Structures are given as structure tokens and as C-alpha cells.
């Protein structure tokens, strides 16, 4: 039975690296994968999944209006697909998560989603909330706070490196805009070890 998987973490935990490695493993064995990423995340170029360590691959894109079940069905009819990989899964709509569940249930194709669980205000992204509710398997990809504890939260930074408290839920950025912290240091907004004189 094919399953819907949600691999989640904070920023900079290696989600895209893990996705690209897993897709490579399928392809190395002669299997075909379909990669999907959010259309508006163009940091590495539209339709490119890129990791911080330099790995990248071309991907189909989706936006809020995309019907992912239909997209995967048509691609599968054209050439057999063994697995679907979704990057930036936090940007999926609840409807699209259901569509991906149908890909697993009706087309019997495993769907592996990778995304961030919560935003900079500690609130669930809609796609992540739906995946936490519907996925057959959940896996946390871990990273650490500057203190060495497990990072579970993320703060957004302005151009001066200061924590931003308000704003739109979605703002594309990398290390220059976001920092992963443990819950304690997220709550206190402590971004680094205190400097001792």
C-alpha cells in the first residue's frame, strides 16, 4: 500500500537535501520520480529544488490553484511514476493535501512531502496542519539551536538581523531571513550566546 509521508522540520535542517537524496536513490535503481515545488519560491530559479550544500534538481511547480491529483495522473499516464516528492509542502492548501492522499490511495504511488511545520510566529502553516492530520507517516528531520538543544521553532529577521514579530505568514528567504531556535530561545528571542567580557 502506498503512503502519504510528511517529513517536517524547522529551517536549515536539510529537508531539500534529504528529498534530493531519496529521489536519487529511486532513480539509481531505474525508477522514475516526479518532483514538485512551490512556484513562487524562485530562490534557486523557478522550478528548481536546491539544497544549501549545492545539490539541485528540476521540478514541476504548483500554486494554490494547481490540481495535484490531475497533474500526477497525467504524468503517470505519460510515463510510469514510482514516487512523488513535494518540496516546500507547508505551502500546499488543505485541498491539495487531500489530492496527494488520493495519489497514494487511488494511484498507489507513494507521496513524500517535505516542509516546515510552523511559521515565525509559532503557528502551523495550512499545508503542514493538513499533512499532520492526514499523513500515514510523520518524520521529524532534526537540527539544533545555537545552544545545542533541538531546534523546533524559527524566527524571521529584518535586514539588520533583528527579530520580526509581525508580517505575512509567507515570505521567501534563507539564512539571511530566518534562524532556527529551540522553544526557549525562540520565546526569549535570544539569537546567540551572550558575550562575556
> What residues act catalytically?
88
CA distances from residue 122 to 28, 42, 152 in whole angstroms, order as listed? 38, 24, 9
d(CA 144, CA 182): 7
Residue 144 exposed, middle or buried by CB count within 10 Å (0-12, 13-18, 19+): middle
Residue 16 in 3-state DSSP? helix
Question: Rounded to the nearest 10 degrees, how much is the dihedral formed by the CA atoms of 12, 141, 66, 80?
Answer: 120
Amino acid at each position: 500500500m502506498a503512503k502519504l509521508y510528511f517529513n517536517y522540520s524547522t529551517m536549515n535542517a536539510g529537508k531539500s537535501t534529504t528529498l534530493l537524496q531519496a529521489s536519487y536513490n529511486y532513480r539509481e535503481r531505474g525508477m522514475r520520480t516526479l518532483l514538485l515545488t512551490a512556484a513562487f519560491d524562485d530562490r534557486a530559479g523557478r522550478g528548481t529544488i536546491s539544497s544549501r550544500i549545492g545539490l539541485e534538481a528540476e521540478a514541476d511547480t504548483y500554486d494554490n490553484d494547481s490540481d495535484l491529483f490531475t497533474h500526477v495522473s497525467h504524468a503517470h499516464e505519460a510515463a510510469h511514476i514510482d514516487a512523488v516528492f513535494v518540496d516546500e509542502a507547508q505551502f500546499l492548501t488543505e485541498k491539495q493535501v487531500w489530492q496527494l492522499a488520493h495519489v497514494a490511495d487511488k494511484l498507489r504511488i507513494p507521496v513524500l512531502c517535505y516542509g516546515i511545520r510552523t511559521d515565525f510566529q509559532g503557528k502551523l502553516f495550512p499545508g503542514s496542519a493538513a499533512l499532520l492530520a492526514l499523513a500515514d507517516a510523520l518524520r521529524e528531520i532534526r537540527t539544533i539551536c545555537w545552544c545545542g538543544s533541538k531546534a523546533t521553532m524559527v524566527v524571521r529577521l529584518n535586514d539588520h538581523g533583528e527579530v520580526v514579530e509581525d508580517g505575512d505568514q509567507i515570505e521567501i528567504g534563507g539564512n539571511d531571513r530566518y534562524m532556527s531556535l529551540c522553544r526557549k530561545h525562540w520565546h526569549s528571542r535570544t539569537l546567540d550566546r551572550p558575550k562575556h567580557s
